[in-house]
Structure 1
Amino acid sequence: MSVWIGIDLGTQSVRALAVTGDGDVLGAAGRPLTSHRDGPRHEQDPEQWWRELAAATREALRDVPPERVSGVAVAATSGTILLTDAAGRALTPALMYDDRRADADRVNEAGARVWERLGYRRMQPNWALPKLLWLLDAAGSSAGRAATGPARRGALAGARAAHQSDFVNRRLVGHEVATDLSNALKTGVDLIEERWPDEVLGLVPGGMLPEVVRPGTRLGVVCEAAAAQTGIPAGTPVIAGTTDGCAAQLGAGALRVGSWNSVLGTTLVLKGVTKELIHDPLGVVYSHRAPDGSWLPGGASSTGAGVLTRDLPGRDLDALSHSAARLGVPPAVTYPLVSRGERFPFAAPDAEGFTLGDPADDVERYAAILLGAAFVERLCFDYLDLLGAPVDGELILTGGATRSAYWTRLRADVLGRPVTLRENAEPAMGMAVLAGGDPGRMIRTRAVVDPSGADLREPYLRFVSELERRGWLDATAARHARERSAR
């Protein structure tokens, strides 16, 4: 039976899985990664990515017969970018997904027509294209401080832009590779025409951007040098991967139109499948392109379980969950913002957490946080429905929050629908599927949790009204949430 290698190249670690066509994990390994942070600066050493990836794959493949390995794919953080030379060697540190030193005004002025057509309207400063221009200016200034304009750019003749996955894929195959549409989204690729638009090509030197292909496209095969370092047999097909969020969606099995993956960990991320591109007037929902040409809309909230460690430090969360299950409907609800500002299902940079009601103890405070996160999740689906996205398919819950049976049942009650839990929905599993596996056989369901029948509409609508009263939630979105609750 074939074995597929999935690699998740993240921020804090790299993870490798060796998975059979029936979903059995024959080998797994991870290695830590280090970052350099200073205020808005967040960088990593690209060479460390390769060293730790090679170590992780060697360990994961230790007991796997080489002749069974049939493909490998790599997922990486969205918006991470660096400059390399023509041989693939790093010329700059990698600017990570949340590096905020760039300014997006220039790219938004140049690409306004394209961004509007693609549905997200504006780029954020931490997206890859603004950071690429920042790298060009910074590196050009360092190489030729007396030069300006074309002369400064000339100091970087032959440089290439590389996303995180591009850097390691080039090492795997031993020559230049195309980038995938998923990682190229935040660099300004036209996802409709599947090419770089003129607006982007006019901002960077010619030949700097790689070709683009859909995720799932064969990029080449593992070369002898990479095989010696990684343990992946030479000649193994290397498949274009995706961003980590799309990889998690693939691992969760949210593959059909109308199905959604809701990832609730430190923060909340929703990703689904639609036949048509979704346009969001607020710009809080943007879409990736799936391997089959369908669309993968989603958004990331600042709500999440990170509030629990901040507001209930050192508490036994399992014990609190057990006690909260006896409360019935929680007497209070907290809007649990991990940091100031909200990104989805509405844009409110000044939003702050609040509590409706007066929790009497830690159990009620815990339940209020969990209920508030579930309400935000419900509001996300109400907003997606308002935009015309189909939301009636399978709903798969993943992330650390699924370890709490109480929280999972509470979310099912708030959503008013069954929710599915998978055995293994990590991004590396999604990449094993993309590398060539059959998702119908590889992705296993752990449980389907039905709502208990508890009626939480009244506290949900009070929560929606409070968000509207504070001026964060648009009146149209609030009205749609009320109408949908009444159905």
Structure 2
Amino acid sequence: MYIGIDVGTSAVKAAAFDHAGRELAVEASPVGLALHEGRVEQDMYEVYSAVVGVLGRLTVRVPGPVDLAGLTGQGDGVWLVDEQGLPVRSALSWMDGRAHELLDRWFADGTFETVFRRTGSAMFPGCPGPLLAWLDRHEPKSLDAAATALYCKDMVFRRLTGAPAGTDVSDASMPFLDPRTRTYDDGVVELLGLGHRRGLLAPVGDPITTAEARGEGLPAGTRLANGPYDLPACALGAGVTSPGDGLLIVGTCLAALVATTDLDLTGEPAGLYISTDRPGHRLRAMPAMVGTAALDWVLSTTGVRHEEVDALLAETPPGAHGVRVLPYFAPSGERAPFVEPRLRAELTGVSLESTKGDLIRATCEGIGYAARHCLTAAGLTGTLAVCGGGTRSSAWMRLLADVLGRPLRVVEGEVGARGAVMAAAERHGIPLDTAAWTRPTRIVEPDADRAAYYSVGFEDHLGRLTAARDRSR
């Protein structure tokens, strides 16, 4: 039995797989978020306790020896720990917005663009650079008490194994890592005013050294590997490794990833390059803020239940009778494939004749256009895999295939946990049938006529988006 652990933002999951990649069982536990005036934090003790809990339940439910475990989790944020790996304060989530004024200044003075040109990382308020700089200005005692600024999975790995503090190249990619050397760019650290805090950055393993579990949740002696974090873990679990192939994660936020061996630091600063275990191989990532959260808001506002979505999409034609949605509902605006913190959603073409189905379809179409924008910017030229909670709607997947104009390799189940196991197996030299482990659940083909219609609609979407961006400035 192999176990994949995925420490998400709102839930911790552990999945058991057999050697052929069949998902045997999954255990999950919710974890809380403390939200207050744009600040989003998580209790590290609660998160770690949830990890131990789901592992304990899973190993009881699926008895037998655990041959290997892989760990992944949410990226970005700041998880400060002391020399023993214990929390110094609550973790600052990737969703945290307290550093937005600092980032605004970096936009204005050119720091934001300079960092992108050097590292390929378009910073946002919840990534470690702005958060560490904010703490240094407003809460220096927390940094004084910390030994290391880790990422989520690194904190869990340290506690499970007692291994020295460290991270892997994927998490380190934002925002300090030079993707060419796969080491921290000390010039960027200085540029963000953090030179005197350089010692807090977690040492980067390439990949990070594996270790054995101490017996909390996993049986003592279980071989455990740390990383990659959730986005590249999902790419690995979906079989997205060949240059040009892509993955779209349809979750609370959209994440578009394209495998590449190129490094283009020109063009509009947005997204990031995620380094992987293989030197020279990267993922061009456009992790947008728009996603299923936009649809959830529309469903809640209209009183439509999730189980009604497929029927409403089926009874409403493409174009939603003229209703259009720019689905940028996030309070922090958008971060990919462009950065526009003040951009807001727009709903147009509505009349007294518009139906709930029109609103739902227009929202799904708008999210699809945003996904196409991200994938185009990321350089998609090959096959496209899709995973995430949105794949549960078969009608939405058909609509998405039409909007994107390409077949979708739908991969269901705990894809991030699957990728974590595959990474762990590679690091330990355990051969796996990767084709079997990444086999899609189904293939969704686009309809040629609808794809042609949506190709025109996408150009209209880009025009309306340009006008909305101009108004937001």
| TM-score (norm: length of structure 2) | 0.85
Letter of the 2:74 counterpart? T
1:19 equivalent to 2:17? Answer yes
SS in 1 for 2:177: coil
Distance 2:39 2:285 in 1: 26
Q: 1:374 aligns with which of 368, 371, 393?
A: 368
SS in 1 for 2:179: coil
Residues 338-381 of structure 1: per-residue CA shift (max 9 Å, x gap): 22533223333333333453462112222211122222222223
Counterpart contact for 2:85–2:165, Cα < 8 Å: no
Distance 1:206 1:360 in 2: 56
Aligned partner of 2:206 in structure 1 is 214
The CA deviation at 1:111 is 9.1
The CA deviation at 1:435 is 1.8
Aligned partner of 1:296 in structure 2 is 283
Counterpart contact for 2:69–2:223, Cα < 8 Å: yes
Residues 87-130 of structure 1: per-residue CA shift (max 9 Å, x gap): 2222222111122333346899889755422223x533321133
Q: 2:154 aligns with which of 150, 159, 166?
A: 166
Counterpart contact for 1:263–1:270, Cα < 8 Å: yes
The CA deviation at 1:463 is 2.5
Residues 200-239 of structure 1: per-residue CA shift (max 9 Å, x gap): 3762446433320235x432222xxx31x21x22222221
Aligned partner of 2:429 in structure 1 is none
The CA deviation at 1:137 is 5.0
Aligned partner of 1:52 in structure 2 is 50
Counterpart contact for 2:326–2:465, Cα < 8 Å: no
Letter of the 2:221 counterpart? G
1:87 equivalent to 2:79? Answer no
Aligned partner of 2:428 in structure 1 is none
Distance 1:51 1:433 in 2: 25
Distance 1:128 1:190 in 2: 15
Distance 2:212 2:266 in 1: 39
Letter of the 2:252 counterpart? T
Q: CA 1:335 to 1:176, structure 2 compared with 1: closer, same or farther past 3 Å? A: same
RMSD over equivalenced CA pairs, Å: 2.8
Q: CA 1:96 to 1:466, structure 2 compared with 1: closer, same or farther past 3 Å? A: closer
Distance 1:208 1:459 in 2: 48
Q: CA 1:177 to 1:73, structure 2 compared with 1: closer, same or farther past 3 Å? A: farther
| Aligned ranges 1:46-445 → 2 under 5 Å | 46-67=44-65, 69-102=66-99, 103-104=102-103, 115-120=116-121, 122-136=122-136, 138=138, 140-141=140-141, 156=145, 159-186=147-174, 188-199=176-187, 200=189, 203-205=195-197, 207-215=199-207, 217-222=208-213, 226-227=214-215, 229-230=216-217, 232-293=218-279, 294-313=281-300, 314-330=303-319, 331-332=321-322, 333-340=324-331, 341-358=333-350, 360-384=354-378, 389=379, 391-436=380-425, 437-445=432-440
Q: Sequence identity, in percent?
A: 26
Distance 2:456 2:199 in 1: 58
| TM-score (norm: length of structure 1) | 0.83
The CA deviation at 1:53 is 0.7
The CA deviation at 1:410 is 1.6
Distance 1:292 1:462 in 2: 39
Counterpart contact for 1:252–1:425, Cα < 8 Å: no
Counterpart contact for 1:20–1:442, Cα < 8 Å: no
SS in 2 for 1:414: helix
Q: CA 1:452 to 1:346, structure 2 compared with 1: closer, same or farther past 3 Å? A: same
SS in 2 for 1:413: helix
Counterpart contact for 2:119–2:177, Cα < 8 Å: no
Counterpart contact for 1:278–1:297, Cα < 8 Å: no
5+ residue gaps, structure 1: 143-152, 474-487
Q: CA 1:470 to 1:160, structure 2 compared with 1: closer, same or farther past 3 Å? A: closer
Equivalences, count: 446
The CA deviation at 1:419 is 1.0
Counterpart contact for 1:79–1:187, Cα < 8 Å: no
Distance 1:139 1:306 in 2: 32
Residues 246-283 of structure 1: per-residue CA shift (max 9 Å, x gap): 22222222222111111223332211201112325322
Counterpart contact for 2:150–2:166, Cα < 8 Å: no
SS in 1 for 2:4: strand
Counterpart contact for 1:347–1:472, Cα < 8 Å: no
